[in-house]
Chains A and B, each alone.
Chain A
Amino acid sequence: MVFLESFYSPLLLAHLLATFLLVGAMTHNLTIVISYLRGKFGQQKLEWLYVRVSLWAYAVVYLIGALIYPAYRVHMRYEYFDKNLPWATGLFEVKEHWGAVGLGMFFVYYLLRKSFQPSEERDKLYLYVPLCALLNVIVWYKVVVGCYLTLLKGSWS
């Protein structure tokens, strides 16, 4: 019996639902952050809310992902993907690596935003804006690849 394998499906569903929240908050966040580059700073409070929601959503997504990883590793990757679709494992591994470094980057993103006001210290947008864009790349990659792999093989019998 692999760790938490009996709860794999409900945990995977919770993982997906938390990801929806995350991708929604991060995408809205990016649209506001891009407007900073045009000198529009009217939605700073809303943007700061999106940052906090994103951080918590990412933490939940990451935690559930780490919990269901053993069952996925044995029943999905080892028994199916590695043998039949190795390229799918390649897609998944990048998702995990980016997800891991993304956790550190999310904390940096949160602390950075907490420490400055975009309208007052515009020089710091040189890190803040690309960081927001990179986190969106990570989050969207995780969503697309995660959903695609689940379409290829969603569970085991």
Chain B
Amino acid sequence: MRKSDATYILGAVFMVLTNFFYCCTMWFPIKLPRYYPLEHAWKWVNENNVPSQGWYGMQAFAFLAAGIGTLITYVALRRVVSAQTDLKPAHIKMCGAIATFVTLVCMGCMLHYEFSKWGVFTVIGL
């Protein structure tokens, strides 16, 4: 596989996995570190009625998990596909379309999650 093809595939994989794992932090009760700005401290628990920031932990988890997933894909591609193989145009197009679709769905899930949680849909009459 050519270097540009590998970049294309791995880029698409990383993009999809980053979005997917980021959504996982909303869908599942994954324990992540939170920053408590008033105490200048990091904790693994989410304390009620105390301002805290889970955003740093969420993205660190998403990037780390996506990075590992992309690395596994890279190793698998090197074993399965030979260096001389060219990707078929149909596969390139399909890969791009799937990556775009999954990313769009994940971004929609993030929006739906927060808009439902904070009553934005109610305010705009939906």
Residues of A in contact with B (beta carbons under 8 Å apart) = 2-3, 66, 69-71, 73-74, 77-78, 86-87, 89-91, 93-94, 96-98, 100-101, 103-105, 108, 111-112, 114-116, 121, 123-128, 130-131, 134, 138
Contact = CB atoms under 8 A, between A and B. Distances in A.
A131 B100 CA distance: 7
- Chain A facing B: main interface SS: helix
A20 to B, nearest CB: 23
Contacts of A101: 18-19, 22, 59, 62, 103, 106-107, 110
A111 B15 CA distance: 12
Contacts of A69: 53, 55
Contacts of B38: 2, 74
B96 A116 contact: no
B59 A134 contact: no
A66 B57 CA distance: 12
Nearest to A110: B11
A112 B120 contact: no
Interface of B: 3-4, 7-8, 11-12, 14-15, 18-19, 22, 35, 37-38, 40, 51-53, 55-56, 58-59, 62-63, 66, 89, 92-93, 95-97, 99-100, 103-104, 106-107, 110-111, 114-115, 117-120, 122-123
Nearest to B91: A123
A47 to B, nearest CB: 17
23 contacts: A2-B37, A3-B37, A74-B38, A86-B119, A90-B119, A94-B110, A94-B114, A94-B115, A100-B55, A101-B106, A101-B110, A104-B62, A104-B63, A111-B11, A116-B4, A116-B7, A123-B92, A123-B96, A124-B4, A124-B8, A124-B92, A124-B96, A127-B95
B41 to A, nearest CB: 12
A105 B51 contact: no
Contacts of B37: 2-3, 70-71, 73-74
